[in-house]
Amino acid sequence: MSAQERKTADISVTLSGLRLDNPIIPASGTFGFGEEFAQLYDINVLGSFSFKGTTREKRFGNPTPRIAECEGGMLNSVGLANPGIDEVIGEELPALRKIFKKPVVANISGFSIDEYVYNCEKIDKEDQVGIIEVNISCPNVHDGGMAFGTSPESAAAVTKAVKAVTTKPVYMKLSPNVTDIAAIAKACEEAGADGVSLINTLMGMRIDIKTGRHILANKTGGMSGPCIFPLAVRMVYQVYEAVKIPIIGMGGVSSARDVIELMYAGATAVQVGAANLVDPYVCPKIIEELPKLCAELGIEKLTDIIGKAHNN
Amino acid sequence: MKKDFMQTAVITSNVRIAKATFEMKFDCDATAITAPGQFINIDVPGYFLRRPISVCDAEDRTLTIIYKVVGQGTDAMSRMSAGTELNILTGLGNGFDPERAKGRALLVGGGCGVAPLFMLAKKLVRLGKAVDVVLGFNTKDEIFLEKEFLDLNDLYEFGCEGFDEAYYAGEIYDKETQPDKDRLQRGKKPEVRVAVTTVDGSYGIKGFVTDAIAQMYGGEIPYYYACGPLPMLKALKKTVGNGGELSLEERMGCGFGACVGCSVKTTKGFKKVCADGPVFPAAEVLEEV
C-alpha cells in the first residue's frame, strides 16, 4: 500500500443520526429487495439501499410493455408493482436480514393519506428499517403517487400524517414534475420531514414511428438515466437553498464523479437508480472509486463538500 | 455468488443468414448457459439499455446468437465486425426442460423464436429423443436454420449401434444427458424431422405452424417446446393444448430480475419474464388470471 492510499478520504456520511459507511444508496425500484444483487456482490458494501416502493395491497403494476429507451436513458411505467406491505414484512424483510446487515431505507407509497399512514405505521415496527422514504412522486399511477407530490399543501399533509405514526426519520421523495420543487421541499420541512430525497423520474413518452403508437402501454413513463443528471443537480441545488434538512440526491447518477457533483450541489447521500440495471456492479465500483477520486480532488472528508457549490 | 455473470465477449463472426437476420458468434465462456432457452443481455455501445437476445447455441468457448434487426440497437449490432469486444450478462433466465419430452419432442418456432430451439434440439438428440421441428416464417427470404436442424440427424451417428454401450461406458454422454432408453431398446434410430411453413406460401407448407402440426399428427401430439410471437403461442395453446413449454418475450429493463419491468400474470402469481422465465409451462401462462 502506498503512502497516498493510506491517507484514505473519509467517505462516511450521516443522515438524521444514521451513520452510513459511504453515501451510496441504490434507488427504490432498481434494486428489488436486494436478492438479485446479493448473488453478484456483497451488498453490505453499500451505504444502505432503498427497497421497492411498497403499497398496502399487492400490485401487478401497469400493463406491459412498460420499459422504453431514450438517448442516454430509459423510461419505465412499472406502476408500483410490489408484493404489498404484509408480504414485504412477512417474507421480504426476513429474507433481507440474512443478506444485508445494515439499516435499510423503506420506500413507502400510497393512494390515499390513510394508506401512507397505514403502511408507515406497520413499517415503523421493523428494526431493520433505518429511514422511511415516502414516495409522493410516482408518475406512473393515477389517483395517488405523484398527485401528493405536486402541491406544497398535499405534500405537507402526507408528511404530517406519517410523522404522527412513526419515530423513524421520514424522508419525502419529491417529484421533478413541478414548477417549484423548492416550495414543496420547504412545505415538507415545515410539516416535520426529517429529510427529502429527490428527484424521482420525469414524466416522458415515446412513440414507435413504424406504427405511430405509444411504446409504453401506459402511454407515459418516468424517465431516468444519465440524460436527467443535470436536472437533478439543479433541483438538489435549489432545494438545498430552501431547506435545512438533509437531502438524498439522485437522478442519472452513474459514476463517482456524479456523486461528488451532486454533493457539491447539496446532497448528503446519493442514490443510484437506472445505472444498476445496465451495470449491476455500478454501486460497488463507485464505492471503490470514491476515495481515489477524493484523493485526486484533494477532498479529505466527503461531508466537507456538501452544498459547497453555494459558497463558490 | 454467480460466476462469469458479466463477461467481455469477442465477436468471432457476424453474418447475415436471412432477411434482416444475423448470426453472431462470440468467443467467451459459454458454460454459464446451462439450459436451452436462456439468454444474454448485450451492452451495445451508444445505447443505454442492454439488448436481451436468446442463445442459439453454447459450447465451451463458442456462444451463438441469432437476432433480427428491429431497431437502431440491433442495426448497430449488425454492423459490428469480428474482433469487436462486447460486454454481456450471461446465463440469464430459465430455459426449456428437455427431460420433459418422452420419446419424441415437438419444437415450434416462429421467426426469430426459432433460434433458441436449435440448442434444445441438439440436447434432445443427445438424449436419444426424436425431434420434430416446425419453423414458421412470413416468407421464403426469412427462413434460417432449416438445414442446420436437419444436419442434427448426423449427431445420431454414435447412437444407433452401440449408443447404449457408449453411454454406459461414459465415453460420449455424461450422466445428465442420458439417452431415452425406451427408444433405444426398440432399436430404432431417432430422427430429426423439419417442416417449414410460410404465411405467403413461398416455401414449404402455406400457412401457420398450427397448420403444419395439424397435417403432421393423426393422433397424439408430442410434448412441445415453443418460442415465437404471442399470436403463435396463443394459437398453439388453443389447438395443441397445455402439454408443453412456452418462451415468452417482453421489453426488459435489466434482464436479471431487478426492475420488474417485464412482469407477466401466471396461474402461479406475478412472475418476471427475465428471471422466472422466459420459459414457462404452457398451462401457467397466457391464461385469464
DSSP one-letter string for B88-119: EEEEESB---GGG--SEEEEEEEGGGGHHHHH
User: Which residue in A138, A188, A227, A283 is the catalytic one?
Assistant: A138
Q: Is the pLDDT of residue B61 over 80?
A: yes
Contact list, A71 vs chain B (CB under 8 Å): 48
Contact B48 A69 (CB under 8 A): yes
| Pairing between β-strand A269-272 and β-strand A24-26 as defined by DSSP bridges | parallel
Q: Which distant-in-sequence residues (6+ apart) come within 8 Å of B183 by Cβ?
A: B103, B128, B129, B130, B190
Tell me the pLDDT of chain B averaged across its residues.
89
- List, in order, residues 6 or more apart from A304 with CB less than 8 Å away: none
CB contact under 8 A, A78 and B43: no
- Tell me, what's the pLDDT at A236? 98
Q: Do A64 and B263 touch (CB under 8 A)?
A: yes
Mean pLDDT of B81-94: 97
pLDDT for B182 equals 46
How far apart CA A167 and CA A131 sit, in angstroms, is 10
| pLDDT at residue number B186 | 42
What domains, with CATH codes, occur in chain A?
3-310 (3.20.20.70)
* B247, B8 Cβ separation under 8 angstroms: no
Q: Which of B73, B257, B264 sits opposite A36 (nearest CB)?
A: B257
Q: Judge contact between A163 and A192, C-beta under 8 A.
A: yes
Could you read off the pLDDT of B24-51 as tens digits, one per residue?
999 999 999 999 999 999 999 999 999 9
Does residue B173 have a pLDDT over 60? no
Max mean pLDDT range (A245-259, B93-107, B118-132): A245-259
Nine-digit cell string for B29: 465462456
Out of B89, B251, B263, closest to residue A60 by CB: B263
Chain A contact for B43 (CB, 8 A cutoff): yes
Cα–Cα distance, B186 to B42 (Å, whole number) = 45
Note the Cα B9 to chain centre separation in Å: 20
Look up residue B224 and give its amino acid: Y
Q: Output the CA angle B90-B92-B98, nearest 5 degrees.
A: 115
Amino acid at A184: I
Under DSSP, the state recorded for A303 is: G
- In the prediction, which pLDDT does A47 show? 98
Nearest CB neighbour to A64, from listed B6, B50, B262: B262
Please report, rounded to a whole number, the percentage of residues in chain B having pLDDT higher than 70. 88
Mean pLDDT by 10 residues, chain A (312 residues): 63 97 98 96 98 96 96 96 97 97 97 95 97 90 76 95 98 96 98 98 96 96 98 98 98 98 98 98 98 96 97 84
Q: Tell me how many helices (H) and strands (E) chain B has.
A: 7, 15
What's the predicted TM-score (pTM) here?
Answer: 0.92
Contact B262 A278 (CB under 8 A): no
Task: Answer yes or no: is pLDDT of B183 > 50.
Answer: no
**Nearest alpha carbon to residue B114 among B265, B2, B232, B32:** B232
Please say if A294 is a catalytic residue.
Answer: no
Least confident among A126-140, A144-158, B150-164, B207-221: B150-164
Whose cell is 446519493? That residue is A270
Q: Which of B1, B48, B261 sits opposite A225 (nearest CB)?
A: B48
Answer whether B48 sits within 8 Å of A32, measured CB to CB: no
Rounded to two decimals, the ipTM of the complex is 0.93
**Start-end of H helices in A51-151:** 85-87, 93-99, 113-123
Peptide bond into B179 cis (omega under 30): no
Which fold, B98-247?
Rossmann fold (3.40.50)
Cell representation of residue A277:
440495471
Using a CB-CB cut-off of 8 Å, the residues of chain B touching A37 are 258
Type of residue found at A84: G
Residue B160 has pLDDT above 90, yes or no: no
**Are A281 and B264 inside 8 Å of each other by CB?**
no
Cell of A158: 402526507
Residue among B50, B36, B216, B41 at smallest CA distance from B114 = B36
Contact across the interface for A30 and B259, Cβ inside 8 Å: yes
Beta bridge partners of A301: A10
3-class secondary-structure state, position B116: helix
What's the pLDDT score for residue A220? 96
**B155 band by pLDDT with thresholds 50, 70 and 90:** confident
Map out the domains of chain B as residue ranges.
6-92, 98-247
Q: How confident is the model at residue B189 (pLDDT cuts 50, 70, 90)?
A: low
Q: Return the higher-pLDDT residue of B181 and B271.
A: B271
Q: What is the pLDDT of residue B163?
A: 42
Choose the CATH number for B6-92 among 3.20.20.140, 3.30.465.10, 1.20.120.1730, 2.40.30.10.
2.40.30.10
Does residue B67 contact residue A295 with C-beta atoms inside 8 Å?
Answer: no
pLDDT for B288 equals 81
Alpha carbon of B78: minimum distance to chain A alpha carbons (Å)? 19
Count of CB contacts below 8 A, A vs B? 91
Residue A144 pLDDT: 63
Q: Nearest CA to A136 among A125, A146, A128, A121?
A: A146
Interface of B with A in 1-40 (CB under 8 A): 1-2, 5-6
